[in-house]
Structure formats: structure tokens, C-alpha cells
Chain A
């Protein structure tokens, strides 16, 4: 349990740091919102059909020792 707590704390601090950075970000987006059409395309989604992805992940996890860190996050189209 100690291992997870220490790791988790580090992650949360890092995430808070990233969050704070975002607030004062001078980084200009190098891919403009009007250039993000491909990311709105369903074929570029990390998880196009969740009902199917969840099932396959379940099959693998049932037979393997490894777990976690699966799936993709976000993929903003620059809308709003």
C-alpha cells in the first residue's frame, strides 16, 4: 500500500503542477483549431466502439497477470 500512496502522491503533485502551468500557459498551439479535422474523424479515435473495446480488454485481463493503463485519453478536435 505504501508503494501506491507514494507514487500516487507524486502523480497528484505532478498533475497539479501541470494544471497550474496550463493556467499561465504562454505556449501557442502549433496545430491550429482549424487544422484538427483528422482528430474529429472516428477512425482516429483511441476508442471508437467502447462496447467492443471494454469486452476485449476484459478477455485479456481475465487470462493475464497484467492490468491497467489501457485505453486512450481525449483527442480534442479543438471545438470549444
Chain B
């Protein structure tokens, strides 16, 4: 148990009571270790439109989606939009290796204990959540098939104008 707490301390997760995820509830707050060293918290992005993408290197559709997410990030980043790629693997070695081959510029967070996945009730791989400037969950999307990115774009375009 002690080791678990120590691990959590390193990951620095602050969790609110888990809410049944629906597309109009307040997004739960969290902090996760990130690529680059410094932990990242959701609260840092208050006022911005935040898209969280839960992904894993072993998941085909997730890998297929990543370059499109990179494209979306670059396009809307200056308009108050950010994308957080939450990797759900307990061991991030495979994810880091894959990112070396297919680099992305948006922040990559490591949810090694699956705490944030549970918080957001992730029910499919990949899963995408879009949170508005006020911190409310506005879109929940499970899975990825080509064409889904248009749904994301529609949502982002309208939320960025708010």
C-alpha cells in the first residue's frame, strides 16, 4: 500500500469523486506526469477548449488517429484550443518508441495507474472528450473510424467561438 501511495505521489493525481460522465457535467480535475518531465493539470487550461484523447500504442485505430489529431492541434492551437494525449499504458516504453517514429507536438500525459481513464469512464479505445472554456464536458466520442475527425472539428469550431 505504501508503495502505491508513493507511486501516486510521483504521478501526482488529484481526483474528485468520480462522476457519471455525461456530455454536460463538469470535467473532473486531474494532474498527470507528462512527457518532458513537468506534471500537467487540467486546471492549467481553464479558459481554453481542451480535447483529451485516450490512446495506446497497441491500439490500431488510436495510431491511425494521431496524425489527424496533430493536424487539428496545429490548426486551432492559436485560437485557445489545446489537445492532451493521455496514454493509458502501465509501461510507457512502447508509447515513447512509437512517438519517436510518429512525433506529435501536443502534450502527452501518462496515466499509468488508469486513474484518469476511470475518472472519465473510458469505455472504448480510443476515447475523445472535448471540454469547453468553462470546464464542462461537451462531447464524448468512443472509438475512431475515418471520418470521425469531422465531428471533432465541428465541435471545436463552435466551442472556440464561445
* Residues of chain A at the chain B interface (Cβ within 8 Å): 29, 32-37, 40-41, 77-80
Contact = CB atoms under 8 A, between A and B. Distances in A.
A79 B59 contact: yes
Given A32-B117, A33-B124, A35-B114, A79 B60 contact: yes
Given A33-B122, A34-B54, A37-B56, A79 B61 contact: yes
A29 B54 CA distance: 18
Nearest to B94: A37
Contacts of A41: 58
Contact of A34 (B122, B143, B144, B145): B122
A32 B121 CA distance: 9
Contacts of B130: none
Contacts of A33: 122-125, 127
11 contacts: A29-B123, A33-B124, A34-B56, A37-B58, A41-B58, A77-B60, A77-B125, A79-B126, A79-B143, A80-B142, A80-B143
Contacts of A29: 123
Main secondary structure of the interface of B (DSSP, over half): loop
B53 to A, nearest CB: 12
Nearest to B127: A33
Contacts of A36: 125
A40 B58 contact: yes
Interface string B95-131: 0000000000000000100100110001111110000
B145 A32 contact: no
Top 3 A-B pairs ranked by shortest CB distance? A34-B88, A80-B143, A40-B58
B124 A80 contact: yes
Nearest to A34: B88
Contacts of B118: 32
A35 B61 CA distance: 16
Given A32-B122, A79-B62, A80-B144, 18 more contacts: A32-B114, A32-B117, A32-B123, A33-B122, A33-B124, A34-B56, A34-B114, A35-B114, A37-B89, A40-B59, A40-B60, A78-B124, A79-B61, A79-B125, A79-B126, A79-B143, A80-B125, A80-B145
